[in-house]
Structure 1
Amino acid sequence: MGLFFATPLLLAGIAAVAVPIALHMMMRRKPVKLEFPALRFLQQRNVVNRRRLRLRHLLLLLARIAAIVLFVLALSRPTIKGAGWLGDAEGPLSAVFLFDTAPRMEYREGNRTRLDEAKSLAREVIDKLPVASRVAIVDTSDGVAVFSPTITAAKAHLERLETGMPARSLVDGMSEAFRMLEASELPRKEMYVFTDLTNGAFPGDSSPRNVQAQHPSIPVLVVDVGVLAAEDFALGAVYIPNDRIAAGMPLRLSVATSRLGPDEDRSVAIELATSSGQYTRRAQQRLSWKSSTPTSAQFELTGLPVGVQQGRVLIEGSDALEADDERYFTVEVGAPWRVLLAAPFPAARTGLFLTEAIAPTTLKKAGTSRFDVKLIDLKQLVETAWDGFDAIVLVDPPAFPDRTWELLRDWIGTGKGLVTWLGPHAGDPLVFNTPASQTVLGAKLVRVWRSPDASNFMVLSSLDHPMVSAFRRVADSVGWEDFPVNRHWEIESIGLPPESDIQQKNPRGAQNNPPVSSTVVAQWRNGFPAIIEHPLGKGWAVVVTTPVSQAADDPQAWNILATGFEPWPFVMLANESVLYSIDRSERRNVITGNPASIRIDREGVTDAFVKTPKGDEFPVPVDIGKKIITVTATQEAGNYSIRAGAENDGIATGLSANFPTIATDVSRLSPELIVSSFAPEQRFARSEKELVRDVNLERIGAELFGWLIVLAAGAIVLDWWLANRFYAERDDTSQSASSAKDQWSDKTNASQVDQNQPSSSNGISAGKDLDGFGIDEKDPFVLVEGYSDPPPVSPQSGSVVKKRRRRRE
């Protein structure tokens, strides 16, 4: 903000304030001494009258000075520039228009989206830009941020803007815009940020204040196109335990729901896509939507045919934002995963709990089990062919020879999974801990930890890890303290050595990279690791530090995880650990903008074709070695279809992409958070009128001539009023003075005192007419002319020795 003068030379006229000061000094009335008898009450009025007179003179002087200063300033035509936010309008400038193009900008109010409103306001600003200005249109998508060659080209770019999954945050977009403006050779720079000021625009700690502080010289105007009281029905994340289910198994699906606005009842439905692309409804639920109270809808579909199945969950009816009214999913229905479970002799007894947990007999007979388990003795592990199995589960393994560990390492590295439940058969840690075993397990054994008082149990402090994320749905009802663990192995997590062959195969690491450390998934109450996992090549290894192979009546049992009352937490943990360890190279359900990976089990296929939800097609190469295709162009939300190979006997598969919840969050930021998120004195505009006002305030400026002239006139009126108020003639004073003069005249005419004789102490000296008088503070017996309200004078107050009278002309 700055103050400028159209005629600054006229400011020299302020020196004229010396005139009223000089006149004030020269025209002060000097007191005339009049000898008068000493009167006590006149002495008391002296101080009061003197202060009153000084205050009146000072007020008059200030009013006259203010009138002169304001008049001179008005003639100088001062203009405030910076009361708005923009730069000088006298030459070309560089302007960056940053648009928030997240899906929530599709919110409609008055049959107009927020992005349409932003475009309309941006056109008004672009039309008012000086000639030869440089303009850049930047959005939060993955577009290249450059200045357009002409303003016309910038307008064309503006019209092409569409909503989509943001590739960068609004704060990152502002950083890019600042970089462009700093690099511009034009001295005048501007930035416009068009956003809806919602929690989705600035999630978490995302704040532009720090970015603005690094570029204080570049003005920023935030154009608020948001809705102050938005209403919305929203579907959140879709949860499917796994992208693949066994044939005959039901599809269990849940979706989060939320409401912004008044409470209302609406239905949520689930539909499956047919081969023609049409959707058929399979289930529907009526929900009560409570404001700001998240809930969820649960669905279970049975009878799904073998193959890839795609569907959607949708809200019945419509609202202002369609982007969060539908969610999409893809699952593969196929044969159960094959699992090789090796347990100590007798395997039928020691491996019973795990076998029944992951592949219950009733489900196997019904053909709906997700796992096909083969149970063997640990001694038969090496003799059994591992080809065709997706995972191996080791129950209380002993110290294997290094060759066995090496075979396990190589097999896991091809994309398989291993789950190990450590127990008493591990024996001496010094024997068990070999380099080969530590490479596979990612840890070394330290000792057996005992808690005989049943005070130790599993603690899931965080449910963010995929292996335990399923417990979110039942987190409040899991009573791990009801399943105490009396013994467990204390282990020390290690990293794979850099020279390990398996790490060289690991896509996350390579030679000369730091070792890959194991990750702790869950802990015991005493703080030691309960579950750890780490990658091996393309596969994963999971270690649980206590066994589930001992009977409930065994006095040496280490825990009652599988034998306690209703041990459903153990059943969930057993299933989730095996699912996590199995090759997860396929990612069919992703967040928009993230890559999806699909396995293509067909020899000789080199390319696949992907069809987007809008109908566009593009080819994707097949990684022949891994037999996987990776689709990175997933910016659109919806179901994608994929085909590879010949048309008749080719592969038909698919994937689904959904917007993240934050991208469709239209809840308004609080006023306090809006103020604290931006730089101090940040200006906001919500309408075309406010936008034009801010442009004019800075480019044209706000002239103060009118205000200063009004103030100068007010100062003159004040001076006139004060002068008439302070010096108006008072009737009572005149009468009192006249009476006193008559009395003094009669008295002095009667006296016969020699005028040459020195005056006595009780004499008086007459001067001007006694319009007002007071006491001279140097001589209390002398009246001073110029004071009002004289007291009545009595003839008996004393004899007049000498009289001097000065007649008023």
Structure 2
Amino acid sequence: MSFIHPGLLAFLAALAVPVIIHLLMRPKPKRMLFPALQLVARRKKRNVRRIRLRRFWLLVLRLVLLAAFIFLLARPLLPAASYRPTSTEWITALAIVVTGGLIFLVSELLWNRRASQQHEESYRRSVSATAVITLVVVVVGLLVGWPYGSRVFADAQSPSMDADDDVPLAAVYLFDTSLSMGYIREGQSRLEAAAELAEQHLSDLPSGSRIAVADSSTNVRPVFFRDKEGVRAKIDSLEPRAGGGALNRSVREAIRTLEDDRSRLIEDLGDGPAELRRDPFARAVFVFTDLTASSWDSSQIVSEEVADPAYPVFFVDVGVTEPSNIGLADVELADDGVLAGGIATLRGRIVGVNPTESKVPVEVRVEESADSEVVRGQKSISTDGTGTFEFRIPVDHAGFVRGTVGTTVGDPFSADDRRFFVVRVVDPPRVLLVSDSLEATYLTGEALAPSILVRQNLARFVVTRISTSAFYDAKLDEFDAVLLVDVREPSDRQWERLGKFVRAGGGLGVVLGTAVESFAYNSAEAQSILPAELLVNLAFEPPQRLVSGDRSHRVIRRLDEFEGLTELTAWDIRRHWKVAVDPTARELLKYTLPGEPRAALLTATVGAGRTALMTTGLGSSDWNDLTSAQWAFVALVDQLTSWLIDLSGQRLNFRAGEIATVRLSESATTDTANVVLKLPSLEDQILPVSGEQSEITLDPFEEAGLYRLTVRRDSTTDSTWLAVNASDRESNFERVPAERLDETLGPDGYDVITDMDGVNLELRETTLGVEAGPGLIIILLLAFFGEGLLANRFYGGRGEEASGVSPTEGRR
């Protein structure tokens, strides 16, 4: 036993006070003249014995009363154990007390049959009561106290025990709120089934239990509820979300919540010895989940946190053993930005888990207004895992095209039946072609804006061709991209203007040729934006071919999709510029020079803009035969220019859980700007924007659907649409294998259960102690009551006892 306030035990010295008072106030017999001296002496002797017995018990009760009060103030701590007597112990103790009472009554009846004087009866009654009380105490100690003490001692030495109805529970209910928990079975989602199990368990908890509710979609540390209604309200508010985090990360946080709660309780108890502090709570983490692999991150190991048996982890499995699902996966746009009059290409595939249909219809819908959609295509796709689809959506006008693609066949899991997309449609970009000779830019200009399409207003680009001499007066801010085609000697002034243009978000393409002077391209101003340094102009003997370099680059991917890359690599390259590539540049195309691969097409990002460098000419038969590739040559020029301009302006399509950074228009970079994000649930979020802020970063998306970011300033309103889709992993109902759980949590760190019955919880060995205050209060009340009763009887008859004459005898 230890004490929270051990200093108060010094007041135990006050126990000497009742003893001293008792000795000082001992009654002294009065001297009386009486003829029958022998009778008086005999009665005096018996009265003294009876008074001593009563005095002894009165002294004991007063000492117990004072000691209990002092111990109560000192707040003793007992080791954690089950101190509540069992029903057998209660019945045995009660039976012994009742038996003692019966013995006392029987003895009284037997003695009353014999004639005796009152003082003899009083003495005999005191002796009988003392004997019976002593016997009861001894028998209770042997038959009840000894087994009880042995049990409590053993329990305190090894405080593991099954959590029964008597042990309050401090637990965390952790709910898996990933989308897979929305799977419907028998009219009930997996999350609803988990909530039902949790509420049933909650109803059966003993008084004093404390529950915290957490979910895998939020990073907020849960708090404990003391009332069950608060727990139920929190559980009822949960719903599946697309942006849920890893479940094992949430398990770690739940365990830390229990540890922090224990630490706070220790602080509240004071400075008692740590070795005797025991936790009065059974503690556990209950994870309500369908145990799908999509909600698990095996890279996050938490076995160290769950190795302590004081915090057992129970996975309450509410999953379906044989789910059935048909959904869409790998849905993506070829480009987030498309030119007006062009085509937006949308691709994806159908995934099936125990599908009920061999084929399903897939249709794409485009929103024409807030409450109106138009079907733009429909196909029947196989569900055997090989079914893919591609929709080509014509776009005519500048703005944002938003829509959905999905199946029209319902199944138990609807979260992957529909995917969202947004395309930014822009007017034809303006491109400035600069060359020493206008003839040198003719083929490049025709590739970007064919004359026949220009006359029909169908060209993808608006092209302006000027000579180098006119470049000095050109207003670059009126163009989206500038292409220098075999320009002999750009001045530092021109490079300075181009640098500002690129860093502000413009695109610069440089095509080398015969007229180029390397020193002009190797100046400090030029090298600050170019992806390579020019070394020497060389001829290939024999001619070489092109070969792909960085196949992940968007330009190469698009050429490869149309097999344009294969066509380009079939034509000869006779001359080129050998360059020293900047480490930050990406090599899209190379030459097939044996043993010494050299860069043919380089790209780089500079500030907010982009640059590209072609080390062989375009449109010059002396340098190569690329123009003979015809449509492939046009595709190369078109895709490279589109990349330089960055048509989408920014990424518009995201996965749930990702963070988006959106560039703000100039109207938002003032203190009067109002930025509002409308969620798919139609809820508005006001976003703070500072006066000089040029972009805004959004919190991780938690909901799939279409988002609208609106910037309002005075009478100007600019909007940007974003599409968010759930991860494709949610469509995979593969269950997390036991091996992965063992690897992440440790073989002994968890249990998997399907209901809440028979859950065994263990109390921690070195946690909080149990305060003995309630027991001491009971002892204090009993001692107070007994002392008052005995003192009243003792002092009420004190004069008669001292004189040895009873009132009855006096009347005789």
Does the 8 Å contact 2:441/2:465 carry over to 1? yes
* Residue 295 of structure 2 is aligned to residue 231 of structure 1: no
1:280 aligns with 2:374: yes
- The within-5 A match list for 1:597-746 is 597=662, 600=665, 606-620=673-687, 632=699, 634-643=701-710, 645=712, 650-651=717-718, 654-669=721-736, 673=740, 676=743, 678-681=745-748, 683-685=750-752, 687-688=754-755, 691-693=756-758, 695-696=759-760
Structure 2: which amino acid aligns with 1:279? E
Matching residue within 116, 122, 133 for 2:198: 122
Shift in CA distance, 522/171, structure 1 to aligned 2, threshold 3 Å: farther
Q: Which amino acid aligns with 1:114?
A: R
* Distance in structure 2 (CA, Å) of the matches to 1:375 and 1:528: 30
Match of 2:500 in 1: 410
Q: Which of 135, 144, 165 does residue 242 from structure 2 map onto?
A: 165
Residue 110 (str. 1) matches residue 154 (str. 2)? no
Alpha carbons of 1:239 and 1:175: their partners in 2 closer, same or farther (altered >3 Å)? same
Residue 391 of structure 1, CA deviation: 1.3
Q: Is the 8 A contact 2:283 2:761 kept in 1?
A: no
Q: Compared with structure 1, are the counterparts of its residues 334 and 222 closer, same or farther at alpha carbon in structure 2 (3 Å cutoff)?
A: same
Q: Cα deviation per residue 1:478-505 (whole Å; 9 max; x = unaligned)?
A: 466434655544544447xxxxxxxxxx
Distance between the aligned counterparts of 2:739 and 2:543, measured in 1? 50
How far, CA to CA, are the matches of 1:682 and 1:585 in structure 2?
49
CA positional deviation for 1:108: 1.6
Displacement after TM superposition at 1:642 (Å): 5.0
1:482 aligned onto 2:570: yes
Shift of 1:148: 2.1
Which position in structure 1 is the counterpart of 2:778? none
Tell me how far 1:144 sits from its aligned partner. Answer: 1.1
User: In 1, Cα distance between the equivalents of 2:328 and 2:618?
Assistant: 40
Q: Which AA in structure 1 matches 2:684?
A: E
Answer yes or no: is the 8 Å Cα contact 1:591–1:657 preserved in 2.
yes
Alpha-carbon distance, 1:661 to partner: 2.1
Contact 2:564 2:635 in 1 (8 A): no
**1:375 and 2:465 aligned:** yes
SS in 1 for 2:628: coil
**Greater mean alpha carbon deviation, residues 469-478 or residues 114-123:** 469-478
CA contact (8 A) 2:706 2:724 kept: yes
Residues of 1 paired with 2:541 and 2:227: CA distance?
Answer: 79
Q: Partners in 1 of 2:603 and 2:449 — Cα distance?
A: 23
AA of the residue aligned to 1:582: I
* 1:185 aligns with one of 255, 262, 270: 262
| Matches of 1:179 and 1:519, distance apart in 2 | 46
Q: What is aligned with 2:303?
A: 212
TM-score (norm 1): 0.63
**Residues 229 and 668 of structure 1 are in contact (CA less than 8 Å); yes or no, is this contact kept in structure 2?**
no
SS at match of 2:294: coil
Could you tell me the TM-score, scaled by structure 2's length? 0.63
Residue of structure 1 in register with 2:42 after alignment = none
Distance in 2, Cα, partners of 1:201 & 1:422: 53
Give the corresponding residue for 1:144: 220
- Identify if the C-alpha distance between structure 1 residues 106 and 437 changes in structure 2 by more than 3 Å, giving closer, same or farther: same
The percentage of aligned residue pairs carrying the same residue is 26
Aligned to 1:579: 642
Q: CA separation of 1:442/1:460 partners in 2, compared to 1, >3 Å: closer, same or farther?
A: closer
Deviation of 1:418 after TM superposition, in Å, equals 1.7
In the TM superposition, what are the counterparts of 1:272-311 in structure 2 within 5 Å? 272-291=366-385, 293=386, 295-302=387-394, 304-311=396-403
Q: Give 5+ residue unaligned stretches, structure 1.
A: 7-75, 496-516, 701-809
Q: Deviations over 1:100-144 (max 9, x none)?
A: 222232122222222222323333444455654443322222341
Counterpart in the other structure of 2:618: 548
Change (3 A) 1:631 1:211: closer
Q: Is the 8 A contact 1:249 1:368 kept in 2?
A: no
- More divergent stretch after superposition (185-194 vs 135-144): 185-194
CA deviation vs aligned residue, 1:533-560 (integer Å, no higher than 9, x gap): 4333322223344432322xx2xx2x44
Match of 2:546 in 1: 457
Residues 1:385 and 1:134: Cα distance change in structure 2 (over 3 Å): same
How far residue 410 of structure 1 moved from its aligned partner, in angstroms, is 0.8
How has the CA–CA distance of structure 1 residues 131 and 240 changed in structure 2, closer, same or farther, with 3 Å as cutoff? same
Q: 1:573 to 1:191 in 2, by over 3 A?
A: farther
Structure 1 residue corresponding to 2:429, chosen from 337, 340, 343: 337
Q: Deviations over 1:721-747 (max 9, x none)?
A: xxxxxxxxxxxxxxxxxxxxxxxxxxx
Contact 2:243-2:700 within 8 A present in 1 as well: no
Give a deviation string over 1:348-406, Cα, whole Å, max 9, x none.
3x334433443344443433333212223344333322122111122344442222211
- Would the aligned equivalents of 1:610 and 1:617 in 2 still touch at CA under 8 Å? yes
Counterpart-to-counterpart distance in 2, 1:225 and 1:446:
67
Distance across 1 between alignment mates of 2:634 and 2:692: 36
Q: 1:448 to 1:172 in 2, by over 3 A?
A: farther
Q: 2:628 — aligned with what?
A: 563
CA drift of 1:608 comes to 4.0
Change (3 A) 1:139 1:399: farther
Cα distance, 1:653 vs structure 2: 5.2
Structure 2 residue 298 is matched with structure 1 residue 222: no
Q: Secondary structure at the match of 2:295?
A: coil
The letter of the residue matching 1:324 is: D
Counterpart-to-counterpart distance in 1, 2:391 and 2:717: 32
Match of 2:607 in 1: 537
My pick for the range that moved more, 622-631 or 295-304, is 622-631
Contact 1:586-1:599 at 8 Å conserved across structures = no
Segments of 5+ residues of structure 2 without an aligned counterpart are 1-80, 83-150, 264-278, 765-812
Q: Quick check: 1:457–1:480 contact (8 Å CA) kept in 2?
A: yes
Question: Which of the numbers 488, 491, 496 marks the counterpart of 1:401?
Answer: 491
* Contact map agreement 1:589 1:655 (CA 8 A) in 2: yes
Tell me, yes or no, if the aligned pair for 2:547 and 2:591 is still in contact at 8 Å.
yes
- The residue aligned with 2:652 is 588
How far apart are the structure 1 equivalents of 2:563 and 2:288?
Answer: 41
Match of 1:174 in 2: 251
The structure-2 alpha-carbon separation of the partners of 1:115 and 1:361, relative to structure 1 and needing over 3 Å to count, comes to farther
Which residue of 293, 318, 324 corresponds with 2:410?
318
Q: Which residue of 2 aligns with 1:271?
A: 365
Displacement of 1:427 after TM fit? 3.9
Question: What is the CA-CA distance between 1:315 and the residue it aligns to?
Answer: 1.0
Change over 3 Å in CA distance of 1:624–1:344 after alignment to 2:
farther
* 8 Å CA contact 1:456, 1:485 repeated in 2: yes
Could you say if the C-alpha distance between residues 680 and 562 of structure 1 is closer, same or farther in structure 2, counting changes exceeding 3 Å? farther
Task: Give the C-alpha shift of residue 447 in structure 1.
Answer: 4.7
Amino acid corresponding to residue 174 of structure 1 in structure 2: V
2:587–2:601 Cα contact (<8 Å) kept:
yes
Pairwise CA distance, 1:164? 1.6
Q: CA deviation at 1:643?
A: 4.9
SS in structure 1 opposite 2:224?
Answer: coil
Question: How far apart, CA to CA, are the structure 2 residues paired with 1:232 and 1:424?
Answer: 62
Match of 1:260 among 337, 353, 369: 353
Deviation at 1:663, TM superposition (A): 4.1
Q: Does 2:317 align with 1:240?
A: no
Cα gap change, 1:266 to 1:385, in 2 (>3 Å)? same
